[in-house]
Amino acid sequence: MLIYGSRLYGKVDEVPGVGHVATKFSHLNFVPLLPREGWLVASEGREGWTGRVIPMSGKSVLVAWARAAFVIVGVVAWLGVVSAYAGSGPHAAMGPGAVAALCTAGMFLSYRWGWISRASPERALELAQLAGVDDTTLAQLCRSLGVPLPAAVRARIPRGR
């Protein structure tokens, strides 16, 4: 059975209180194939996602394809481990086992490494502005990130806030 359609893949650049970047892909059996558009996702749920279209992120596209490769190659390698172990013993399973372990680690780390999962301070400000957050929220975000407020925004905020 073939399952096709479009969905979000490549979750990167998370900004607390704003959202994260993902790419809408055409997929076949849940393998992302063709990137269609970039999204700043404000929330996701059972009914879908909310957010806005933004310029496509090369980082998101590459992460989506890398994660798909980790899953596909990892599953094949784990099957190779089982097959080799059953047929020839533990020494024959070492090669596929190493590949399977690397794919598993790569998948795990792709969600945990900060430079992939979290936006840099500059990118966080860019995404917050694309999301249309108000100036007060933008000022709070700058304080939490420890970066200066852009001069144009500083000029719009009344003193004392």
pLDDT at 160 over 60: no
Answer for the pair 57, 96: CB distance below 8 angstroms, yes or no. Answer: no
DSSP 150: P
Task: Tell me the mean pLDDT in the region 149-156.
Answer: 76
Farthest CA pair distance, the chain: 75
Token pair 């144009």 is found at 152
Coil, strand or helix at 133: coil
Look at the alpha carbons of 41, 43, 45, 47 in this order and tell me if their dihedral is positive or negative. negative
How far is the C-alpha of 149 from the C-alpha of 18, rounded, in Å?
17
HEC string of 46-81 equals CCEEEEEEECCCHHHHHHHHHHHHHHHHHHHHHHHH
At residue 67, the pLDDT reads 98
Query: Which residues have a Cβ under 8 Å from the Cβ of 141 and sit 6 or more positions away?
Result: 15, 17, 18, 124, 125, 128, 133
Please give the pLDDT value at position 145.
Answer: 86
pLDDT in tens, 11-50: 999 998 899 999 999 999 999 999 999 999 999 888 888 9
- pLDDT tens for each residue of 120-139: 999 999 999 899 988 888 88
Q: Report pLDDT digits (tens) over 66-118.
A: 999 999 999 999 998 888 878 777 777 788 889 999 999 999 999 999 999 99
pLDDT surpassing 90 at residue 152: no
Residue 146: per-residue pLDDT = 85
Can you give the pLDDT at residue 159? Answer: 65
